[in-house]
Structure 1
Amino acid sequence: MPSSSRDLSRPEDGFDVVLAGIAARGLAASARRAGLRALVLDLFADEDTRALASHVVQLRRHDGFALDPDDLLEQLGRHAGADVPLVLGTGFEDAPELVAQLAARFHVVGSGADTLAKLKDPVLFARQLAALGIPHPRLFPGAAPEGRRALEKRVGGSGGGHVRPARRARGAGWYLQEFVEGRSVSVLFLGDGEAARLIAFSEQWCDASDDAPFRYGGCAGPVAVEDARARQVADALSKLTGAVGLKGLASADLILHDEGWHLIEVNPRPGATLDIFDAPPLPPLLRLHLDACAGRLPELPLLVPGAGVEARAAGLFYAPAAMVLRDALPDWAADRPAPGTRIAAGEPVCTVRAAGRDIAEARAVLARRMDHLSRALSTASRAAAE
């Protein structure tokens, strides 16, 4: 567990915000940009997270890359004040009960347990969308109808690693959703519990592995979406925000196609697009999150490609084989483990970032950096195997 020279027992060493999640480096960077002193609790305590935060607590892993609720509650009780804003990142999608526990003891700033349950329970979510007239994929309670493609997903899952083509869901904790063909995009937005404000659209892609064909690969933005369609999405998300009481930063995954669009999923927390949007011309996104949770939506125009707007891309680099990191990673890599860290095959090593004049250039730079990292780390993979 990383240590800090700051003495947490002294009042002058207080924090402005507490950030918790599986990986909270993006939130820590936004806090630093906003001038906020952050206490971070996550599973990795990466080197750049430690440099960005005032103090970092490495949490115990539970069942792979899940948060251990007991350890999280214990560490928060030990290090975090009850009145300091607590912002939750990834790792709480399937745990509304844990969010309720946290809200009872700490000052959670964001969507509550009830909102989370309504958005992440697939049946409740589909019913809510139907009631609001928002286009969405059908759920199949049994087998998919003949001739219909379907995806099996884990309830509350994130990251895409749990998604697979299937004819029938495997049982409790899983569901079957209609597959919708089209362009996969995500929209970052803010909610104040009553209305939503769109911030920017991004494109996303998969980095398929043998057992995870829809594993999350990365994102790039901003991308342009037809004005009429963007207005439809904004109206739909405002209706949904008011219906479920969504607050703060969130993202919605969409499929755009010739006939229109479908809303696939809503993640009611700050996510991966912090890496491409938490930079000028936008203000610090964590500050916008705190403001929206207090009922203040910003008067910001939708961020679109154009003059003066740099395109950015960020992708996850997964270990192709078991490895031991021998050297520090390049500056364009984020979520940097310390040299000597052992990483199993298929686990994320770091986030790779790139920028360009447009999306094509940003993704081309990202691809070159991914290739460079793959070649550079091949030695580490061989060393781990010997």
Structure 2
Amino acid sequence: MIGLSARALVTAARRAGLAALALDLFADMDTLRLAAKSVTLRRGRGLTIEAADLLDQLARHIGPDTPVVLSSGFEHRPRLVERLASRFSLMGSDARTLRLLKQPRAFAELLAELDIPHPRLFEREAPAGVPALAKRVGGAGGQHIRPARRVSGRQRYLQERLPGRAVSALFLGDRRSARLIGFSEQWCDPAPGVPFRYGGAAGPIQLEPPMEHAIAAALERVTNAAGIAGLASADLIVDGSRWHLIEINPRPGASLDVFDHPPLPPLLRLHLEACAGHLPAPPAALPPPRAAGLLYAPVPFTLGAEPLPEWVADCPPQGAAFRAGDPVCTVFATGDSAGQARSAAQDRARALMSRLICADGAAG
């Protein structure tokens, strides 16, 4: 299980009855507890995994037939994915799929060919009166997104900004067909300079049946064209009866925290089966509403000795120091609806952050 953070994958592996080797940048306390073994990878420039260290650690710890599952951190690195696939048993979408889905121009052209509604891309400058967003190629987490009229540079692109709410569709692909699992709604946690910082997700939610069917059909077409394998998520903007496909992440992601619960079977098992060419039947029922929100440090502080609540994941070790804006942990909550679960998670996050800052101040 490899990613910038492998905790969600390791949690999914434990639920599926699998012993997981976790390789990531953080080695959070719950990752250490849940994994059979955890390896902390060297960090490259920015928040990236150093390729040479990753390949070396895999060669030390696993054989060529051990399944390797990737999460975040590989969206903009198809060459590294190719190297992994040539040496290990990669269970997931390949480098060709990444190049089709994570290069904005290629993705937009694919959606146009498949007659799937999507936002326009602009070469250098948005037309007068058209709101637009500047994004980084391969970016994740929303911190790279800014409102903009123009953009320059190979690693930035300009996309039409559409009105509506952010919805994510979790699905499985077997490289030919897709199976929709469910929808969740995302929210932003804006801060100075990062107006679209990812805040969390809550679900499951329901859309109007005709829209759900249209989105499922679109995911089927994209999966067949791009060869999506295993768990993936599609980011959508939904505005009344209209919807647009914004992005596809062809990997297990944050939706695991919302959906990987009874009565659904273990999603990592379904991921491995889909990669082997076997799609499950449509789910008969979905889990109760649940939210998973990221907690960011509003000011610098150091984590004290008090244990974090049981409804927290991605738990850092005692003494971890955070700068303003750093992610601290993930906060879970349930409710009678996705909206209630989201509100409960946000209330918990605010109360926990206040407590952590006060404890640090008292300690100082």
Task: State the TM-score, normalizing by the size of structure 2.
Answer: 0.97
Matches of residues 186-335 of structure 1 in structure 2 within 5 Å? 186-301=168-283, 303=285, 309-327=287-305, 328-335=307-314
Deviations 1:243-296 (A, max 9, x none): 011100000000111351100000000000111110001111110100000000
- Show CA shifts across 1:215-244 (max 9, x none): 100000000111100000010110010001
Distance apart, 1:364 and its partner CA: 2.5
1:357 aligned to 312, 336, 339, which one?
336
Residue 152 of structure 1 deviates from its aligned partner by 0.3
Deviates more, 1:155-164 or 1:336-345: 336-345
Q: Aligned residue for 1:103?
A: 85
Q: CA deviation at 1:63?
A: 2.2
Distance 2:238 2:337 in 1: 20
**AA partner of residue 43 (structure 1):** L
The letter of the residue matching 2:300 is A
Q: Is the 8 A contact 1:323 1:383 kept in 2?
A: no
2:4 alignment counterpart: 22
Give the whole-Å Cα distance in 2 for the aligned partners of 1:110 and 1:194.
13
Summarize deviations over 1:342-378 as a string: whole Å, max 9, x none: 2222111000000112123212221221121121111
Q: State the partner residue of 1:67.
A: 49
In 1, the alpha carbon distance for the partners of 2:50 and 2:174 equals: 30
1:343 maps onto 2:325 in alignment: no
Structure 1: runs of 5 or more not aligned: 1-18
Percent identity over the alignment? Answer: 56
Cα shift at 1:72: 1.0
How many angstroms apart in 2 are the aligned matches of 1:216 and 1:381?
26
How many residue pairs are counted as aligned between the two chains?
Answer: 363
Q: Is the 8 A contact 2:201 2:342 kept in 1?
A: no
Report the TM-score, using the length of structure 1 for normalisation.
Answer: 0.92
Aligned partners of 1:215, 1:381: CA distance in 2, in Å? Answer: 25
Q: Name 1:11's counterpart in structure 2.
A: none
Aligned CA distance change for structure 1 residues 228 and 382 (closer, same or farther; 3 Å): same
Asked if the contact 2:124–2:152 (Cα under 8 Å) also holds between the matched residues in 1, the reply is: no
- Identify unmatched segments of 5+ residues in structure 2: none
Segments of 4+ moved more than 2 angstroms: 300-304, 379-384
Query: 1:381 deviation in Å?
Result: 5.3
Stretch deviating more after TM superposition (317-326 or 289-298): 317-326
Greater displacement, 92-101 / 255-264: 255-264
Pick aligned residue for 1:371 from 350, 355, 362: 350
Matches within 5 A, 1:154-193: 154-193=136-175
Asked if the contact 2:202/2:339 (under 8 Å) is kept, the reply is no
The structural deviation recorded for 1:104 is 0.8
Query: Following the alignment from structure 1 to structure 2, what is the Cα–Cα distance between the partners of residues 266 and 321?
Result: 33
Greater shift after overlay, 189-198 or 74-83? 74-83
Separation of aligned partners in 2, 1:178 and 1:378 = 39
Give the C-alpha shift of residue 383 in structure 1.
7.0
Q: Cα RMSD between the aligned structures? A: 1.3
Alignment of 1:126-141 (within 5 A): 126-141=108-123
